[in-house]
């Protein structure tokens, strides 16, 4: 553990928030998992327990590691309970309005020296920092999904982020046994600036009839040695998240090469958001995923 940070708050008990709470608790930090409703916290805790169970089954952790990690996490629906924590990480939906609202509710309760971070995968850190009462103690700590498995964390400073904040965040991430990459504060940072246009291009390839879902994913898995095809990966990320990131790139860089594919827009409008919704580029409602095009 780092000297400065002993307790961590995670705002949002979804897939990313639960993953961050999991790795922080496993590394020895006291964790408060916050969400707006008890059922969301329950579902986040169930996700953490299952994920720790998978690590136990593959002998990455011991039974006592699992028990200790779970004992370090408690849930809350009150932002007041985040008041005495050393670091609070926002992991709400990839929507700037939602994130700004979360900061408005959190900031009045934080102790003056607390650090605040966002797990945004694409939105300007400088702009989000300006919506808080502590831009100098604010930065981007972007974990990859699924958090317990993926080794990388992108650290992103806003224009006002102080060096001490950056160094503390670096020490915190290193204590989680993650590898750090540092990105400048430009739309979508490094990973998604490269990854999402590739996924969007795969969707254009489908939209224009160049290949089917199966042929595109097979081509990239076997032809480019990707562990997962781009359309399968899009379903895993969530098509709504893919669309949000492409929109941030398109709006932020004003370059037509980032225009979201109309087919991606159509799938999101249909509510076919990928694995979490049961349907995306594949239909997940049966025994095996079946391509939807």
Marked catalytic residue, from 94, 154, 183, 244:
154
Per the annotation, the verdict on 78 as an active-site residue is no
What SS3 class is residue 257?
helix
* Chain centroid to CA 205: 27
Marked catalytic residue, from 121, 183, 200, 244:
121
Token representation of residue 32: 């408060």
Place of tokens 């090469």: 257
Marked catalytic residue, from 142, 183, 200, 244:
142
Per the annotation, the verdict on 121 as an active-site residue is yes
Marked catalytic residue, from 7, 51, 183, 192:
192
Per the annotation, the verdict on 287 as an active-site residue is no
Q: Measure the CA–CA gap between 246 and 107, rounded to whole angstroms.
A: 29
Token representation of residue 216: 């595109």
Q: Measure the CA–CA gap between 248 and 3, rounded to whole angstroms.
A: 36
Q: Measure the CA–CA gap between 157 and 173, rounded to whole angstroms.
A: 14
What is the CA angle 197-17-167, rounded to 5? Answer: 80
Token representation of residue 265: 């827009």
Per the annotation, the verdict on 22 as an active-site residue is no
Query: Annotated catalytic sites, by residue?
Result: 121, 142, 154, 192
């Amino acid at each position: 553990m780092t000297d400065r940070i002993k307790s961590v708050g995670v705002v949002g008990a979804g897939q990313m928030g639960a993953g961050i709470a999991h790795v922080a608790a496993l590394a020895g930090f006291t964790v408060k998992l916050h969400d707006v409703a008890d059922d969301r916290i329950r579902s986040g805790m169930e996700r953490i327990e299952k994920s720790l169970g998978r690590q136990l089954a593959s002998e990455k952790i011991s039974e006592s590691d699992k028990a200790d990690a779970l004992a370090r996490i408690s849930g809350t629906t009150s932002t007041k309970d985040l008041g005495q924590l050393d670091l609070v990480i926002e992991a709400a939906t990839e929507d700037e309005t939602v994130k700004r609202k979360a900061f408005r509710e959190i900031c009045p309760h934080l102790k003056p020296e607390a650090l605040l971070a966002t797990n945004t995968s694409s939105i300007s850190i400088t702009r989000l920092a300006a919506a808080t009462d502590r831009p100098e103690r604010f930065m981007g700590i972007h974990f990859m999904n699924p958090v317990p498995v993926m080794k990388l964390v992108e650290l992103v400073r806003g224009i006002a982020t102080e060096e001490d904040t950056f160094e503390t965040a670096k020490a915190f991430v290193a204590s989680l046994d993650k590898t750090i990459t540092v990105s400048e504060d430009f739309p979508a940072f490094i990973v998604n600036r490269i990854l999402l246009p590739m996924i969007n291009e795969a969707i254009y390839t489908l939209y224009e009839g160049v290949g089917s879902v199966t042929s595109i994913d097979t081509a990239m898995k076997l032809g480019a040695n990707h562990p997962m095809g781009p359309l399968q990966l899009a379903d895993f990320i969530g098509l709504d998240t893919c669309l949000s990131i492409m929109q941030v790139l398109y709006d932020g860089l004003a370059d037509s090469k980032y225009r979201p594919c109309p087919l991606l827009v159509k799938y999101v409008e249909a509510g076919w958001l990928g694995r979490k919704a049961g349907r995306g580029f594949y239909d997940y409602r049966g025994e095996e995923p079946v391509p939807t095009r």
